[in-house]
Structure 1
Amino acid sequence: MNGVPRAPLLLGLAGLIPFVWGALTTLSDPLATWGAANLGGRFIGPYIQLFYGAVILSFMSGVLWGFATKATGAQAATGYALSVIPALWAFFMTGGGPVGAGMNLMFGFAGLLVLDFAFWRWGLAPEWWLQLRVLLTAIVLICLSTGVFF
């Protein structure tokens, strides 16, 4: 992580808190009970992960859109078209219960990493972008897997 600027690294890691909290409350009944009593049932287990995951996929569409503004011509058009995929994925694929929605979010974040790679490879994202996105995506996928597989 030496090449990633401190602010994006710290903010990216802070953005993992709802995913990590959801995983912890999935794996720990006492923590889930405390969370439900003090924060509400929507803010524990897979429920916080699913809601927040859809928000983050939509946010990342905006980030990719911003990268597309650096391109011109056909590459810009391709970038804009690709940038809306994560938000549309979140919108259409997160229904149908926590296991199916969690699995679809996992596919969505894995697909987002492919898009991150494309924008990075095209030189539209910062040099350090992919290093940060691989770390964050790995943690998100591990956390989401608790709601899907446990």
Structure 2
Amino acid sequence: MTRVPRSALLLGLAGLIPFVWSAATELQPDLADWGARTLGPRFVGPYAGLAYGTVILSFMSGVLWGFATRTSGREAFTGYALSVIPALWAFFFVGGGPTSSAIYLATGFAGLLALDWNFWSHGLAPEWWMRLRIPLTAVVLACLSVTILT
């Protein structure tokens, strides 16, 4: 695998900020209080992570759709069909209480990683794709586990 381009790495890491913030405000009540007063209650605790996770899971469907455009025929159909799974997963399964939503989101992100690998292994994603996606997914899952376990 080749090195992850700096811009992709920096933007990927920046994309983790809401997940890390969500987990931090669940673990630190004083930080949650400050965040709620400063930013509003929907931007702290599980609310922040679950809302953002739903958006990102849907966004990643679009990324996979872009990979599918590199194919044709039956392979394209399969790629497009696989690419909509993360967004549909978020739509149909995320929305109960915080614990069940976090479990479903974590499952969605784990499944997304499998889809990432599938597209990458077929040469549709950049060579460095899994080098970026594995650590990002690990952090997302760790942050969502805070909601699941608290």
TM-score range, shorter chain: over 0.9
Using the TM superposition, give the Cα deviation of residue 2 of structure 1 relative to its aligned residue in structure 2, in angstroms.
7.0
Equivalent residue number for residue 134 of structure 1: 134
Q: What TM-score do the two structures reach when normalised by structure 2? A: 0.98
5+ residue gaps in structure 1? Answer: none
Question: What do the CA deviations read for 1:12-37 (whole angstroms, capped 9, x no partner)?
Answer: 00000000000000000000000011
Q: What secondary structure, in the 3-state scheme, does the structure 2 residue paired with 1:87 have? A: helix
Deviations 1:58-81 (A, max 9, x none): 100000000000011111110000
Checking the alignment, whether the CA contact within 8 Å between 2:2 and 2:127 is kept in structure 1 is no
Residue of structure 2 equivalent to 1:18:
18
Tell me, yes or no, if structure 1 residue 42 matches structure 2 residue 42.
Answer: yes
Unaligned runs of 5+ in 2: none
Superposed counterparts of 1:110-125, under 5 Å: 110-125=110-125
**Cα distance in structure 1, aligned partners of 2:96 and 2:66:** 31
Are the counterparts in 1 of residues 82 and 115 from structure 2 also a CA contact under 8 Å? yes
How far has the Cα of 1:45 moved from its partner? 0.8
Give the direction of change, closer, same or farther, for the CA distance of 1:2–1:83 in structure 2 (3 Å limit). closer
Q: Deviations over 1:89-121 (max 9, x none)?
A: 111111110000000000000000000000000
Q: How does 1:1-150 map to 2 (within 5 A)?
A: 3-150=3-150
Runs ≥4 residues deviating over 2 A: none
Task: Report the TM-score, using the length of structure 1 for normalisation.
Answer: 0.98
Question: Secondary structure in 1 aligned to 2:46?
Answer: helix
What's the RMSD between the two structures over aligned residues? 1.1
Tell me the alpha carbon deviations over residues 39-71 of structure 1, each in whole angstroms, 9 at most, x when there is no partner.
111000110000000000110000000000001
